[in-house]
Structure 1
Amino acid sequence: MPKSLLVLAYFAFFAVVCQCCTNPQVTSTSFTTQDATIVLNIAYISDFTLKCANGEPSALYAEVNGNIVPVSIVDTNRYQVSWTEDTKTASSGDKQVRIFDEDGYAAARKALRAGEDLSSVPSVADLVVNHPGAYNGPWLKSELLATLVSLVVAYFAVSFKLKVTA
Protein backbone atom coordinates (compact mmCIF):
# COMPACT_ATOMS: atom_id res chain seq x y z
CA MET A 1 0.00 0.00 0.00
CA PRO A 2 2.75 2.58 0.74
CA LYS A 3 4.42 1.99 -2.66
CA SER A 4 1.18 2.69 -4.52
CA LEU A 5 0.71 5.92 -2.57
CA LEU A 6 4.28 6.91 -3.40
CA VAL A 7 3.71 6.27 -7.12
CA LEU A 8 0.41 8.17 -6.99
CA ALA A 9 2.09 11.11 -5.22
CA TYR A 10 4.87 11.04 -7.85
CA PHE A 11 2.40 11.29 -10.74
CA ALA A 12 0.33 13.91 -8.94
CA PHE A 13 3.46 15.99 -8.37
CA PHE A 14 4.42 15.97 -12.06
CA ALA A 15 0.84 16.60 -13.15
CA VAL A 16 0.85 19.79 -11.08
CA VAL A 17 4.46 20.86 -11.81
CA CYS A 18 4.53 20.14 -15.56
CA GLN A 19 2.26 22.69 -17.19
CA CYS A 20 3.41 21.76 -20.68
CA CYS A 21 1.22 23.04 -23.47
CA THR A 22 -0.04 20.15 -25.58
CA ASN A 23 -1.56 20.59 -29.04
CA PRO A 24 -1.14 24.40 -29.17
CA GLN A 25 -3.34 26.51 -31.45
CA VAL A 26 -1.95 29.98 -32.13
CA THR A 27 -3.27 33.05 -33.93
CA SER A 28 -1.29 36.27 -33.90
CA THR A 29 -1.23 39.86 -35.06
CA SER A 30 1.72 42.20 -34.95
CA PHE A 31 2.42 45.91 -34.93
CA THR A 32 5.62 47.89 -35.50
CA THR A 33 6.64 51.53 -35.49
CA GLN A 34 6.50 52.83 -39.06
CA ASP A 35 7.48 56.47 -38.61
CA ALA A 36 10.97 56.96 -37.20
CA THR A 37 11.34 60.69 -37.80
CA ILE A 38 11.13 61.67 -34.12
CA VAL A 39 11.76 58.40 -32.23
CA LEU A 40 15.01 56.67 -31.33
CA ASN A 41 13.67 53.09 -31.16
CA ILE A 42 11.43 50.91 -33.29
CA ALA A 43 8.79 49.15 -31.18
CA TYR A 44 7.66 45.62 -32.06
CA ILE A 45 4.47 44.16 -30.55
CA SER A 46 3.08 40.69 -31.13
CA ASP A 47 -0.40 40.06 -29.77
CA PHE A 48 -1.41 36.39 -29.89
CA THR A 49 -3.87 33.86 -28.56
CA LEU A 50 -2.65 30.45 -27.46
CA LYS A 51 -4.99 27.62 -26.69
CA CYS A 52 -3.61 24.39 -25.26
CA ALA A 53 -5.42 21.07 -25.11
CA ASN A 54 -4.52 20.63 -21.44
CA GLY A 55 -5.60 24.09 -20.28
CA GLU A 56 -3.85 27.41 -19.90
CA PRO A 57 -0.05 27.43 -19.38
CA SER A 58 1.12 29.07 -16.18
CA ALA A 59 3.90 31.21 -17.69
CA LEU A 60 5.25 31.87 -21.17
CA TYR A 61 8.56 33.24 -22.39
CA ALA A 62 9.71 34.45 -25.79
CA GLU A 63 13.05 34.27 -27.55
CA VAL A 64 13.69 37.47 -29.51
CA ASN A 65 17.04 38.11 -31.22
CA GLY A 66 18.77 35.58 -28.96
CA ASN A 67 17.33 37.05 -25.75
CA ILE A 68 14.63 35.49 -23.60
CA VAL A 69 11.91 37.86 -22.38
CA PRO A 70 8.73 37.21 -20.38
CA VAL A 71 5.39 37.22 -22.17
CA SER A 72 2.63 39.41 -20.75
CA ILE A 73 -0.81 37.98 -20.05
CA VAL A 74 -3.48 40.24 -21.54
CA ASP A 75 -6.58 38.10 -21.02
CA THR A 76 -7.56 34.44 -20.87
CA ASN A 77 -5.52 32.65 -23.58
CA ARG A 78 -4.36 36.05 -24.91
CA TYR A 79 -0.76 37.15 -24.60
CA GLN A 80 1.60 39.88 -25.76
CA VAL A 81 5.34 40.16 -26.27
CA SER A 82 7.11 43.40 -27.12
CA TRP A 83 10.63 44.72 -27.59
CA THR A 84 12.46 47.66 -29.14
CA GLU A 85 15.43 48.08 -31.48
CA ASP A 86 17.47 51.14 -32.34
CA THR A 87 16.27 52.87 -35.51
CA LYS A 88 19.75 52.67 -37.01
CA THR A 89 20.09 48.90 -36.55
CA ALA A 90 16.45 47.86 -37.09
CA SER A 91 16.07 46.13 -40.42
CA SER A 92 12.92 45.53 -42.39
CA GLY A 93 11.57 42.04 -42.93
CA ASP A 94 10.31 39.17 -40.83
CA LYS A 95 11.36 38.77 -37.20
CA GLN A 96 11.10 35.27 -35.72
CA VAL A 97 9.66 35.01 -32.20
CA ARG A 98 9.76 31.62 -30.46
CA ILE A 99 7.38 31.02 -27.54
CA PHE A 100 8.39 28.69 -24.68
CA ASP A 101 6.46 27.27 -21.76
CA GLU A 102 8.20 26.73 -18.41
CA ASP A 103 9.91 23.51 -19.52
CA GLY A 104 11.09 25.13 -22.74
CA TYR A 105 12.29 28.16 -20.78
CA ALA A 106 14.36 25.94 -18.49
CA ALA A 107 15.86 24.15 -21.50
CA ALA A 108 16.58 27.48 -23.23
CA ARG A 109 18.31 28.90 -20.14
CA LYS A 110 20.38 25.72 -19.91
CA ALA A 111 21.35 26.03 -23.58
CA LEU A 112 22.33 29.68 -23.11
CA ARG A 113 24.49 28.84 -20.09
CA ALA A 114 26.20 26.07 -22.08
CA GLY A 115 26.71 28.40 -25.06
CA GLU A 116 24.55 26.24 -27.33
CA ASP A 117 22.23 27.36 -30.09
CA LEU A 118 18.62 27.96 -29.06
CA SER A 119 17.26 26.46 -32.28
CA SER A 120 17.66 22.97 -30.77
CA VAL A 121 15.21 23.81 -27.95
CA PRO A 122 11.61 22.91 -28.89
CA SER A 123 9.15 25.78 -28.71
CA VAL A 124 5.42 25.85 -28.06
CA ALA A 125 4.81 28.15 -31.02
CA ASP A 126 6.72 30.25 -33.54
CA LEU A 127 5.44 33.70 -34.44
CA VAL A 128 6.48 36.01 -37.25
CA VAL A 129 6.48 39.79 -36.81
CA ASN A 130 6.76 41.59 -40.14
CA HIS A 131 8.42 45.01 -40.11
CA PRO A 132 8.00 46.76 -43.47
CA GLY A 133 10.55 49.42 -42.55
CA ALA A 134 10.29 52.86 -41.02
CA TYR A 135 10.11 56.27 -42.65
CA ASN A 136 13.10 58.32 -41.51
CA GLY A 137 12.08 61.58 -43.14
CA PRO A 138 12.98 63.22 -46.42
CA TRP A 139 16.51 63.00 -47.81
CA LEU A 140 16.81 66.78 -47.72
CA LYS A 141 15.64 68.61 -44.64
CA SER A 142 13.36 71.59 -45.22
CA GLU A 143 15.83 73.96 -43.53
CA LEU A 144 18.60 72.96 -45.97
CA LEU A 145 16.28 73.24 -48.95
CA ALA A 146 15.12 76.72 -47.85
CA THR A 147 18.75 77.84 -47.44
CA LEU A 148 19.70 76.55 -50.90
CA VAL A 149 16.71 78.26 -52.54
CA SER A 150 17.44 81.56 -50.78
CA LEU A 151 21.12 81.39 -51.88
CA VAL A 152 20.08 80.77 -55.50
CA VAL A 153 17.56 83.64 -55.39
CA ALA A 154 20.20 85.94 -53.79
CA TYR A 155 22.76 84.98 -56.46
CA PHE A 156 20.36 85.76 -59.31
CA ALA A 157 19.26 89.03 -57.64
CA VAL A 158 22.82 90.24 -57.16
CA SER A 159 23.92 89.19 -60.67
CA PHE A 160 20.84 90.86 -62.24
CA LYS A 161 21.48 94.05 -60.26
CA LEU A 162 25.11 94.12 -61.42
CA LYS A 163 23.99 93.72 -65.06
CA VAL A 164 21.39 96.50 -64.74
CA THR A 165 23.76 98.99 -63.10
CA ALA A 166 26.59 98.28 -65.51
Structure 2
Amino acid sequence: MLCLSSIIFTFLALLAFAKGENCESPQFKITSYSTKDARLTAESAAQVEITVKCKNGKQPSTLYADINGQVVPCAQSAGSPGKYYLGVSAATHKQLAKGRTSVKLYDDDTYSALRKTRTDDAAKAVKPFGEVDFYHPGASFGPWLPSEFIAVIGFGLVWWAAYRERSKILA
Protein backbone atom coordinates (compact mmCIF):
# COMPACT_ATOMS: atom_id res chain seq x y z
CA MET A 1 0.00 0.00 0.00
CA LEU A 2 2.85 2.37 0.84
CA CYS A 3 4.50 1.68 -2.48
CA LEU A 4 1.30 2.38 -4.44
CA SER A 5 0.68 5.69 -2.67
CA SER A 6 4.28 6.80 -3.24
CA ILE A 7 3.99 5.94 -6.95
CA ILE A 8 0.75 7.94 -7.23
CA PHE A 9 2.32 10.87 -5.35
CA THR A 10 5.39 10.78 -7.61
CA PHE A 11 3.21 10.64 -10.71
CA LEU A 12 1.16 13.65 -9.57
CA ALA A 13 4.33 15.58 -8.71
CA LEU A 14 5.80 14.85 -12.15
CA LEU A 15 2.53 15.85 -13.80
CA ALA A 16 2.52 19.18 -11.95
CA PHE A 17 6.19 19.76 -12.80
CA ALA A 18 5.72 18.83 -16.47
CA LYS A 19 2.88 21.32 -16.88
CA GLY A 20 5.29 24.07 -15.95
CA GLU A 21 4.64 27.74 -15.54
CA ASN A 22 3.89 30.50 -17.93
CA CYS A 23 5.93 33.65 -18.23
CA GLU A 24 4.72 36.27 -15.77
CA SER A 25 5.00 40.01 -16.49
CA PRO A 26 7.11 39.80 -19.65
CA GLN A 27 9.39 42.73 -20.47
CA PHE A 28 10.66 43.21 -24.00
CA LYS A 29 13.82 44.82 -25.36
CA ILE A 30 14.02 45.42 -29.11
CA THR A 31 17.03 45.91 -31.37
CA SER A 32 16.43 46.24 -35.09
CA TYR A 33 18.53 46.54 -38.22
CA SER A 34 17.04 47.40 -41.58
CA THR A 35 17.81 48.26 -45.19
CA LYS A 36 19.02 51.82 -45.48
CA ASP A 37 20.38 52.17 -49.02
CA ALA A 38 17.86 51.61 -51.80
CA ARG A 39 20.46 51.84 -54.56
CA LEU A 40 22.10 48.56 -53.53
CA THR A 41 19.00 46.38 -53.34
CA ALA A 42 15.50 46.19 -54.79
CA GLU A 43 13.90 44.80 -51.60
CA SER A 44 13.60 46.13 -48.07
CA ALA A 45 14.39 43.91 -45.12
CA ALA A 46 14.60 44.23 -41.35
CA GLN A 47 16.07 42.00 -38.66
CA VAL A 48 14.47 42.37 -35.23
CA GLU A 49 16.11 40.97 -32.09
CA ILE A 50 13.61 40.54 -29.25
CA THR A 51 14.84 39.90 -25.72
CA VAL A 52 12.19 38.64 -23.30
CA LYS A 53 12.61 38.79 -19.54
CA CYS A 54 9.99 37.21 -17.32
CA LYS A 55 9.41 38.00 -13.66
CA ASN A 56 9.46 34.31 -12.70
CA GLY A 57 12.42 33.43 -14.98
CA LYS A 58 10.36 31.03 -17.15
CA GLN A 59 10.96 31.81 -20.84
CA PRO A 60 8.41 30.95 -23.55
CA SER A 61 9.51 27.97 -25.61
CA THR A 62 8.50 29.60 -28.90
CA LEU A 63 7.28 33.00 -30.02
CA TYR A 64 5.14 33.86 -33.01
CA ALA A 65 4.97 37.36 -34.48
CA ASP A 66 1.99 38.96 -36.20
CA ILE A 67 3.17 41.63 -38.65
CA ASN A 68 0.43 43.29 -40.69
CA GLY A 69 -1.83 40.24 -40.32
CA GLN A 70 0.80 37.66 -41.24
CA VAL A 71 1.85 35.35 -38.39
CA VAL A 72 5.39 33.95 -38.60
CA PRO A 73 7.52 32.01 -36.08
CA CYS A 74 10.48 33.70 -34.43
CA ALA A 75 13.86 31.98 -34.36
CA GLN A 76 15.19 31.31 -30.87
CA SER A 77 18.82 31.86 -29.94
CA ALA A 78 20.56 28.63 -28.96
CA GLY A 79 23.18 30.32 -26.80
CA SER A 80 21.05 32.97 -25.10
CA PRO A 81 17.73 31.92 -23.59
CA GLY A 82 15.09 34.61 -23.96
CA LYS A 83 16.46 35.96 -27.26
CA TYR A 84 14.35 35.62 -30.36
CA TYR A 85 14.95 36.80 -33.91
CA LEU A 86 12.42 37.91 -36.49
CA GLY A 87 13.11 38.59 -40.15
CA VAL A 88 10.83 40.95 -42.05
CA SER A 89 11.06 41.46 -45.81
CA ALA A 90 9.11 43.29 -48.48
CA ALA A 91 9.26 43.01 -52.26
CA THR A 92 9.55 46.79 -52.66
CA HIS A 93 10.82 49.59 -50.48
CA LYS A 94 7.35 51.11 -50.20
CA GLN A 95 5.83 47.93 -48.73
CA LEU A 96 7.98 48.12 -45.59
CA ALA A 97 6.62 51.35 -44.20
CA LYS A 98 8.93 54.07 -42.95
CA GLY A 99 8.47 54.64 -39.23
CA ARG A 100 7.21 52.44 -36.42
CA THR A 101 5.76 49.02 -37.18
CA SER A 102 3.73 47.26 -34.50
CA VAL A 103 4.36 43.55 -33.93
CA LYS A 104 2.07 41.39 -31.82
CA LEU A 105 3.83 38.48 -30.10
CA TYR A 106 2.18 35.17 -29.22
CA ASP A 107 3.51 32.34 -27.06
CA ASP A 108 2.29 28.73 -27.42
CA ASP A 109 -0.92 29.26 -25.45
CA THR A 110 -2.02 32.51 -27.10
CA TYR A 111 -1.01 31.25 -30.56
CA SER A 112 -3.13 28.14 -30.00
CA ALA A 113 -6.10 30.36 -29.10
CA LEU A 114 -5.44 32.48 -32.20
CA ARG A 115 -5.37 29.41 -34.46
CA LYS A 116 -8.71 28.23 -33.09
CA THR A 117 -10.49 31.41 -34.14
CA ARG A 118 -12.48 31.33 -37.35
CA THR A 119 -13.29 35.00 -37.94
CA ASP A 120 -11.30 38.22 -37.91
CA ASP A 121 -13.43 39.59 -35.07
CA ALA A 122 -12.66 36.54 -32.93
CA ALA A 123 -8.95 36.85 -33.77
CA LYS A 124 -8.96 40.48 -32.60
CA ALA A 125 -10.40 39.32 -29.27
CA VAL A 126 -7.37 37.08 -28.57
CA LYS A 127 -5.00 38.98 -26.29
CA PRO A 128 -1.39 38.64 -27.47
CA PHE A 129 1.48 37.61 -25.19
CA GLY A 130 3.01 41.02 -25.81
CA GLU A 131 3.26 43.83 -28.33
CA VAL A 132 6.40 45.63 -29.47
CA ASP A 133 7.29 48.28 -32.04
CA PHE A 134 10.37 48.47 -34.21
CA TYR A 135 11.53 51.48 -36.18
CA HIS A 136 12.45 51.36 -39.87
CA PRO A 137 14.05 54.63 -41.02
CA GLY A 138 13.12 53.99 -44.64
CA ALA A 139 15.39 53.35 -47.58
CA SER A 140 17.41 56.28 -48.88
CA PHE A 141 18.02 56.66 -52.57
CA GLY A 142 20.86 59.08 -51.86
CA PRO A 143 22.39 61.51 -54.34
CA TRP A 144 22.20 60.81 -58.06
CA LEU A 145 25.95 60.87 -58.40
CA PRO A 146 28.22 59.37 -55.76
CA SER A 147 30.80 61.68 -54.21
CA GLU A 148 33.64 59.51 -55.53
CA PHE A 149 32.50 60.13 -59.11
CA ILE A 150 32.35 63.90 -58.54
CA ALA A 151 35.88 63.80 -57.01
CA VAL A 152 37.25 61.94 -60.06
CA ILE A 153 35.62 64.43 -62.45
CA GLY A 154 37.05 67.34 -60.42
CA PHE A 155 40.52 65.77 -60.46
CA GLY A 156 40.24 65.25 -64.22
CA LEU A 157 39.29 68.89 -64.80
CA VAL A 158 42.20 70.15 -62.66
CA TRP A 159 44.63 67.82 -64.47
CA TRP A 160 43.32 68.89 -67.88
CA ALA A 161 43.66 72.61 -66.99
CA ALA A 162 47.20 72.09 -65.67
CA TYR A 163 48.24 70.06 -68.74
CA ARG A 164 46.81 72.71 -71.07
CA GLU A 165 48.69 75.51 -69.28
CA ARG A 166 51.90 73.46 -69.30
CA SER A 167 51.55 72.95 -73.08
CA LYS A 168 51.18 76.71 -73.59
CA ILE A 169 54.29 77.44 -71.51
CA LEU A 170 56.47 74.85 -73.28
CA ALA A 171 55.28 75.76 -76.77
Would you say 1:67 and 2:73 are equivalent positions?
no
- In 2, distance between residues paired with 1:71 and 1:50? 12
Instruction: Report the Cα offset of residue 14 of structure 1.
Output: 6.6
**Structure 2 length normalisation: TM-score?**
0.66
The gaps in structure 2 that reach 5 residues or longer are: 147-171
**Aligned ranges 1:71-90 → 2 under 5 Å:** 71-74=74-77, 75-86=80-91, 87-90=93-96
Aligned to 1:155: none
The alignment partner of 1:116 has SS state of helix
C-alpha separation in 2, matches of 1:134 and 1:84: 13
* Equivalent residue for 2:140, pick from 109, 119, 135: 135
Pair 107,61 (structure 1): closer, same or farther in 2 beyond 3 Å: same
Look up the SS of the partner of 1:134 in the other structure.
Answer: coil
Give the partner amino acid of 2:43.
N
Using structure 1 for the length normalisation, give the TM-score: 0.68
Cα deviation, 1:7-54, whole Å, max 9, x if unaligned, reads: x84x96476346532111221111211111131221112112112225
| Equivalent runs, 1:137-156 vs 2, <5 Å | 137-138=142-143
Match of 2:61 among 58, 62, 65: 58
> Is 1:91 aligned with 2:103?
no
Q: Aligned equivalents of 2:107 and 2:14: distance in 1?
A: 20
The CA deviation at 1:116 is 3.0
For 1:22, the equivalent position in structure 2 comes to 24
Number of aligned positions between the proteins:
136
Q: Which runs of 5+ in 1 are unaligned?
A: 143-166
1:125 and 2:127 correspond = no
Output the aligned Cα RMSD.
Answer: 2.8
Task: Map Cα deviations across residues 103-127 of structure 1 (whole Å, 9 max, x no partner).
Answer: 111112223x333364422222211
What secondary structure is seen at the aligned counterpart in 1 of 2:58?
A: coil
